[in-house]
Homo-oligomer: A and B are copies of this chain.
Amino acid sequence: MSTLKIISLGGFANVTKNMFVYETPQDILIVDCGVGFPEEEMLGVDLVIPDISYLKDKKQKIRGIILSHGHDDHIGGLPYILPQLPQVPVFGPKWAIALASSKLEEFKVPAKLEEIGEGRKITLGGFSIEFIKVTHSIPDTLHLIIKTPVGTIYHAADFKLDLKPVMGEATNQQKIITVGKQGVLCLLSDSLRAEVPGFTPPEEKLEEMFEKEIASCSGKFFVTTMSSNLSRLKQAIDVSLRHGRKIVPVGRSIEKNLEIAQRLNYLRYPPGVFVPRKSINQFSPTALSLLVAGSQAQLGSALDRIVSGESENIKIKPGDKVIFSTDYIPGNETAIYSLIDNIYRLGGEVVYQDIHDNVHVSGHGSQGDLGKLMKMVNPKFFLPIGGNFRHMAAYQRLAASLGFAKEKVLLPDGGQIVEFFENGQVGISQKIETRQVLIDALGVGDVGEIVLRDRQVLAEEGIVITVLPIDQGTHELVGDPEIVTRGFIYIRENLEFLHQTKSKIRQTVKNARARRLDYRLIRRDVQETLEKFFYSSTGRRPMVLPVIIEV
């Protein structure tokens, strides 16, 4: 009997780590391959990726990977996961393929990438897939119509129904309606904003805010947003040019994305529009707009460095204005608020969501968008994805309010498997293991190079924990740092090495203190210094985990 299993290797009820498996007895199709972000308790870890151990004895069944769009939580896992799979083709829309390609080159991971889009139809084993171009906060986002032996699946990863997109075209809703009429077994749908009434406003709505804020700006105009949000960057550039300002991209991710976007003709600006950051002193403040990475207040990001005075030639001064055109990702609020406070302390102005309604619009559809898709597709079953359990519950309430039976909305959790049978039955069964696979990076966001540190490597390279007794008032090291190693050389028996390590720590804490009283800074600097020191002296790269104890 033919069946179709749907599995989330990142776990159902997760917003990020998107990686879905469609499995028949013969074939496996994978949709998306994203990263996630660690929980607070995972000290020293920067990224988590989906757990592919379910695929271990099924690798020969994998016919291909399809990327829905270019966001990191949909493509960021490729460099870590592709090397563990047989060479399978990776399909995606142009912008996603461009970003994936750049990422894979950086990691020197070979891959077979192929562009697809609306109008194309591909066949992978027993699956045939067509695409619908939709709107989101990144160009070239696709929905997938997957024909399987048990029925048609409509895979609606992140989207909103933006009728007036700043880049690209509005969604072809007529096509969705046609697909719906042909009969859809299950709609997998974005559910992140299922709690929010109405339609998500179009990107265009921010135009007026940008216009008003730049007109009243008597200094440098800063805009920070997600680096991948090309249409937001375009809006900021266009309004800046109208006001006679040149554009300064600041931060590796923004610089890279703008460079690729120009190369691929997503953006077309004449030479001279962009000014490299090293030349900004040749311009008056009112002649400059800076597009800055670090809207989530990531430590070490371009914006964080500018505000903390660590940037060589970019300073915040009275008259300058910073637009936070972004949502706060849960968990980042405290760091973002602290950054905003510090911009005010420097005399700058800040425009952020707490004081301005139209500083950001989400890329995810609200109840209006989600409900409209439900009605157009009119499937036999619904499966909310891309949200936590409360968002899935909200999606279920929304469906019920539109007249769909509550039981039609499947709410699998974690590693549960959804299985469709030929007779039209569905079951939520057994649990697969979906462990958090941790990635530790030397730097965060814009600094340093990302390095894979999966459990294998951790076991080979080991870990060094340094416990730093720090005076909570002065931030001085008030005692001997404690060094604990696991799987690294036994440091206690190597006295000379131990002394050198402690001396490095002392010097680093002293230098960090001189710059700013900030535990995050001490932790980062100690980590970076020791990583370099251990590598140069032992050729090994243990994970370094500084633990600060206040005394």
User: Which A residues are within 8 Å of any B CB, using their own CB?
Assistant: 13, 39-43, 45, 195-196, 330-331, 333-334, 337, 340-342, 344-345, 350, 354-355, 388-390, 392-394, 413, 433, 435-436, 438, 455, 458-459, 463, 465, 467, 469, 472-473, 479, 482, 484, 486, 519-520, 523, 545, 547-551
15 contacts between A and B (CB under 8 A): A39-B334, A40-B334, A41-B523, A41-B548, A196-B354, A331-B333, A337-B390, A344-B393, A345-B413, A435-B473, A438-B550, A459-B551, A465-B549, A486-B549, A486-B551
Known interface pairs A330-B333, A435-B473; A547-B550 also in contact (CB < 8 Å): no
Top 5 A-B residue pairs of the complex, sorted by shortest distance between their CB atoms: A435-B473, A341-B389, A41-B519, A344-B393, A195-B355
Does the CB pair A355–B388 fall under 8 Å? no
The answer for the CA separation of A355 and B193 in the assembled complex, in Å, is 10
Instruction: Enumerate chain B residues within 8 angstroms of A43, measured Cβ to Cβ.
Output: 547-550
Instruction: Enumerate chain B residues within 8 angstroms of A354, measured Cβ to Cβ.
Output: 195-196
Does the CB pair B334–A331 fall under 8 Å? yes
Closest to A348 in B: B393
Known interface pairs A337-B390, A467-B484, A486-B479; A545-B549 also in contact (CB < 8 Å): yes
Instruction: Enumerate chain B residues within 8 angstroms of A355, measured Cβ to Cβ.
Output: 195, 394
Does the CB pair B350–A472 fall under 8 Å? no
Instruction: Enumerate chain B residues within 8 angstroms of A523, measured Cβ to Cβ.
Output: 41
Known: A41-B519, A355-B394, A436-B472. 18 other contacts (CB 8 A): A13-B341, A39-B334, A43-B548, A43-B549, A43-B550, A45-B550, A195-B355, A337-B388, A340-B390, A344-B389, A344-B393, A433-B473, A435-B472, A438-B550, A465-B547, A465-B549, A482-B484, A545-B549
Instruction: Enumerate chain B residues within 8 angstroms of A345, measured Cβ to Cβ.
Output: 389, 413
Smallest beta-carbon distance A304→chain B, Å = 15
Q: Which of B344, B433, B469, B551 interacts with A455 by CB under 8 Å?
A: B551
Does the CB pair A41–B520 fall under 8 Å? yes
Instruction: Enumerate chain B residues within 8 angstroms of A341, measured Cβ to Cβ.
Output: 13, 388-390
Instruction: Enumerate chain B residues within 8 angstroms of A42, measured Cβ to Cβ.
Output: 472, 550
Smallest beta-carbon distance A433→chain B, Å = 7
Closest to A480 in B: B486
Most interface-central of A394, A469, A545, A549 (chain B CB within 10 A): A549
Instruction: Enumerate chain B residues within 8 angstroms of A195, measured Cβ to Cβ.
Output: 354-355
Smallest beta-carbon distance A413→chain B, Å = 7
Instruction: Enumerate chain B residues within 8 angstroms of A436, measured Cβ to Cβ.
Output: 472-473
Does the CB pair A337–B330 fall under 8 Å? yes
The answer for the CA separation of A331 and B458 in the assembled complex, in Å, is 30
Smallest beta-carbon distance A523→chain B, Å = 8
The answer for the CA separation of A479 and B458 in the assembled complex, in Å, is 14
The answer for the CA separation of A520 and B413 in the assembled complex, in Å, is 21
Does the CB pair B548–A547 fall under 8 Å? no
Smallest beta-carbon distance A353→chain B, Å = 10
Instruction: Enumerate chain B residues within 8 angstroms of A550, measured Cβ to Cβ.
Output: 42-43, 45, 438
The answer for the CA separation of A507 and B520 in the assembled complex, in Å, is 33
Closest to A355 in B: B195
Instruction: Enumerate chain B residues within 8 angstroms of A394, measured Cβ to Cβ.
Output: 355
Smallest beta-carbon distance A388→chain B, Å = 5
Instruction: Enumerate chain B residues within 8 angstroms of A519, measured Cβ to Cβ.
Output: 39, 41
Instruction: Enumerate chain B residues within 8 angstroms of A333, measured Cβ to Cβ.
Output: 330-331, 333
Does the CB pair B463–A465 fall under 8 Å? no
Smallest beta-carbon distance A209→chain B, Å = 15
The answer for the CA separation of A550 and B38 in the assembled complex, in Å, is 12
Smallest beta-carbon distance A459→chain B, Å = 8
The answer for the CA separation of A389 and B344 in the assembled complex, in Å, is 7
